[in-house]
Chains A and B, each alone.
Chain A
Amino acid sequence: MAGFIELMLERFKVYREPGYYKRFDYWWAMVIDLDRCTGCGACVTACQAENNTPVVGEEECGKGRNLSWIRIERYIEGEYPNVKVKFIPVLCPQCDRAPCEVACPVYATYHNQDGLNVQVYNRCVGTFTCATYCPYDVRRFNWFTYNKKNFLKGNGGSSTSFEPPLDQQLNPDVSVREMGVMEKCTFCIQRIRAAKDRAKDENRPIRDGEIQPACVQTCPTKALTFGDLNNPKSRIAQLAGLSTAGDLHYLRESGSKISDISSNPRTYRLLEDLNAAPTIFYLKRVMKNGSSTAGHE
């Protein structure tokens, strides 16, 4: 037991000693430009299709058991003629100091070398602790084995997922989760893995923009951008205003606020005061004062 704790501490140190991020090749991050987001929900659908996420149906959703890894939050301000609607797509921000990783009793969620917050489905025992600790409410729990035929109907549910011929559209690169397993956004790890595979064949690092998670790929207004933050020339580093190496140092090691570091005044991170250091950077929506409708801000 003591050996296990020592091993865990040793591995924890690897990710927390000064300059640790420089030893790793990539640091995947995302920039979401809220000025471009129209709240169409295409990313939600794309994520559902890409990651074998079951459609649980109305009744289950009513119980708060919805299984979408990305959601569009709506904020409606004002009374009828002067209504403003704001959208924020929220997905797992792969926090650098993630509260969920501290919580897991079986070490099923941890931080890997690419700055991703890993969820290992095989190791998960479903204690729900990570979802309780998550300040963004992006972790989703499989209350049933949704891929079993007629399972939900037998349990009084209104829909089934993946019954033939729908099982033919399952993504073979993503496992179908079973009951009692926590799941969340993986930044489409299967696409990252495929890109790494290609890059290794051609003996080169992964190019900027080569990886597109499903939500990024499908966004009609290109509000979402995905890339490597360790590379200061990448598109997301430019967009987030973190184009010098010193910025990353501040961001990852001193825990500074993004507004103090970033050269882009629009950059912010969701619930930054909680100090979880999420790696999704939102660009604020610029609104004109006194506008009347959502379409003409």
Chain B
Amino acid sequence: MKKFLVYVIVGVVTFTIGYNVNLIYFPDLSPKQPINFSHKIHAGDNSIPCQYCHIYADKSTVSGVPNVQRCIGCHKIIKQDAPEIQKLQGYWDRKETIPWVKVYNLPDFVYFSHKRHVKAGVPCQRCHGDVAKMDRITRQAVLFGIPYARVSPLKMGWCLDCHTNGAKEFIGMQVKNGRDCWTCHK
């Protein structure tokens, strides 16, 4: 019984340390953005399609952060008095870009094309999670209210899950040359 208790205490302590280390040293999972932009309000409640703002997703390798004009286009009418919109108005008046923090960052040696994936019919949610339910964009997946794992690990094995045979359930066919190293590495 005593031994069991020791195990439990050691386990809890280790878990707490590990959990906090994870939160402190891997803060990129849900970085704080300059404006508290809520995807839940935009994509969820008002169901604006992803590509209304991320306009390059099907045209380019990067999906593209919308410029300030695209935000202002709606927000010169909608909810002008909210404090976060005032911040946005400030950027617009100062003619500055908003320094958004990148959440999904791939290493330098990986070639990833949004265009190819969007055109093949891979849903955005497959990699980015259910963005429509996130207030702030996060890579932290939640199970029964407990943070665990990642929305997508962004590891090579995870990419290969689709590139070998898992793609069938999303796009209905196999990825051509999916296992060739130079398909993704550069």
Contact = CB atoms under 8 A, between A and B. Distances in A.
Majority-rule SS of A interface residues: loop
Given A175-B108, A176-B108, A197-B115, A113 B186 contact: no
A120 B186 contact: no
A148 interface: no
A189 B181 contact: no
A201 B185 CA distance: 21
B93 to A, nearest CB: 30
Contact of B177 (A113, A174, A176): A113
A174 B186 contact: yes
Contacts of A110: 181
B148 interface: no
B180 interface: yes
Interface size grouping (class) on chain A: 20 to 34
B158 interface: no
Interface in A121-152: 121-123
B109 interface: yes
Interface string A160-195: 000000000000011110000000001001100100
A116 interface: yes
A121 B182 contact: no
B89 interface: no
Contacts of B181: 110, 112, 118, 120, 123
Contacts of B177: 112-113
B111 interface: yes
B119 A201 contact: yes
Interface string B165-186: 0000000000001001110011
Interface size grouping (class) on chain B: 10 to 19
Nearest to A177: B109
B116 A200 contact: yes
A197 B109 contact: no
B185 to A, nearest CB: 6
Contact of A175 (B109, B113, B180): B109
B177 to A, nearest CB: 6
Interface string B95-126: 00000000000001101010110010000000
Contacts of A174: 186
Contact of B186 (A189, A197, A201): A189
Nearest to B156: A122
B157 to A, nearest CB: 13
A121 B109 contact: yes
A120 B109 CA distance: 10
Nearest to A192: B182
Contacts of A112: 177, 180-182
Nearest to B113: A197
A173 B115 contact: no
A175 B116 contact: no
Contacts of A176: 108
A122 B116 contact: no
A113 B175 CA distance: 14
A112 B186 CA distance: 14
Interface in B27-52: none
Given A112-B182, A116-B182, 13 more contacts: A110-B181, A112-B180, A120-B181, A120-B182, A121-B109, A122-B109, A173-B111, A174-B186, A186-B182, A190-B111, A197-B115, A201-B115, A201-B119
Interface of A: 110, 112-113, 116, 118, 120-123, 173-176, 186, 189-190, 193, 197, 200-201
10 contacts: A112-B177, A113-B177, A120-B181, A173-B111, A174-B186, A175-B108, A189-B186, A197-B116, A201-B115, A201-B119
